[in-house]
Amino acid sequence: MKNLLIAGFALVGLLGLFAACNNTPKIVNNDPNAVYACPMHPEVTGKAGDTCPKCKMDLVSTSAVSTPADSNAAYACPMHAEVTGKAGDKCPKCGMALEPAKANSTNQYKMAFSSSPATLEGGKAATLSFKPEIMGVAATPVPLDLHHDKKIHLIVVSKDLAYFEHIHPDYQADGSYQIKVLDKAAKFTDGRGHNETKFEQGGDYVLFADYMPTGAAGQLERIPLHVDGAAYKPVTFSKEKLTTAVDGYTVTLASHGGKFVTNNPMHIEGTITQGGKVVPAESLENYLSAKAHVVMIHSDAAHYMHVHPDVADGKLDLHTTFEQAGTYRGWLQFQTNGKLHTADFVVNVAEGKPGEVSHEGHEGGKEGDAHTKH
């Protein structure tokens, strides 16, 4: 009875907060496809009429609930849950604004991977399947949150980092997500960037599956993949390449501190020009809820960063921290006139001491975010 009274008071307080933000809140949602969750335990989801097994509160439509800003709430980085602070703070690892902390469970997750056929061969068609699971409870469905418009961001690279694709597996009725591997002669059906890739040659590849289970922090799964058949000849990238041309555009990266080093928050300016004139970053079309996406992978094919730049003074402003010295391959993706462009780079990062690079006078951007994983 005591627990029920506490839960009741909590519900009354919560509804009061909703009313303060919206004079005509819509708590009931008649949409049969709506997702319902516990107001006190958002990781508990179900359908209309269900109650929370933890506190016995009725589940409410998630589309009807908006969490008001609370200056006293705990805030955390959405990609680095161990980084906490207050409203307005940013993550020192990746530059993302801290968000109200989720009621993270203690679950550990993995991305179960399979392919059809089980043995892949260079130049031949196949299907790759990814299924998020709770370790030890594989049969329990794992809902994923949308992050930058997609539930899984999949980066496909050859181990030498000469080949790159940023794609998004499609959801299947069995709870898995799939992508298509096209045969060597087939053409991409969607102009690239959706759910297709190719392994034109055999050899070693690496898949990075970036996803966020509902109620939990962001996850990264690194999946080594071997493809049979005549192997590609590995390419070694060592000479720095900070300017590249793609589809009539020239894209340049430059560190605000004049160098790329570890152990320091880096502000990297991305400038896009066309015909010798700067293309204002704010004029770029939104691609997956961002003006640009930047992926950087260390030559060890293990340290991985996925950054969403801010926009500052008409240019892209990348905020990130390199935790490993060495050579990185980078890919900056942006969209104009409905076409996706991918510019590639080689960045050499030296070992640095904390505080070595000063950013005095640098002001943060106006939009976007970033995240880093390894």
pLDDT tens digit string along 67-100? 333 444 577 776 666 678 888 887 766 666 777 7
pLDDT tens digit string along 218-250? 899 999 999 999 999 999 999 999 999 999 999
> Between 51 and 163, where is the model more confident?
163
What domains sit in the chain, N to C, each tagged with a CATH number?
2-100 (no CATH), 109-227 (2.60.40.1930), 243-373 (2.60.40.10)
The three state secondary structure string of the chain is CHHHHHHHHHHHHHHHHHHHHCCCCCCCCCCCCCCEECCCCCCCEECCCCECCCCCCECEEHHHCCCCCCCCCCEECCCCCCCEECCCCECCCCCCECEECCCCCCCCEEEEEEEECCCCECCCCEEEEEEEEECCECCCCCCECCECCECEEEEEEECCCCCEEEECCEECCCCCEEEEEECCCCCCCCCCCCCEEECCCEEEEEEEEEECECCCCCEEEEEEEEEECCECCCCCCCCCECEEEECCEEEEEEECCCCCEECCEEEEEEEEEECCEECCHHHCECCCCCCCEEEEEECCCCCEEEECCEEECCEEEEEEEECCCEEEEEEEEEEECCEEEEEEEEEEEECCCCCCCCCCCCCCCCCCCEEEEC
pLDDT tens digit string along 266-276? 999 999 999 99
pLDDT band at 355 (very low <50, low <70, confident <90, very high): confident
pLDDT band at 335 (very low <50, low <70, confident <90, very high): very high
pLDDT band at 295 (very low <50, low <70, confident <90, very high): very high
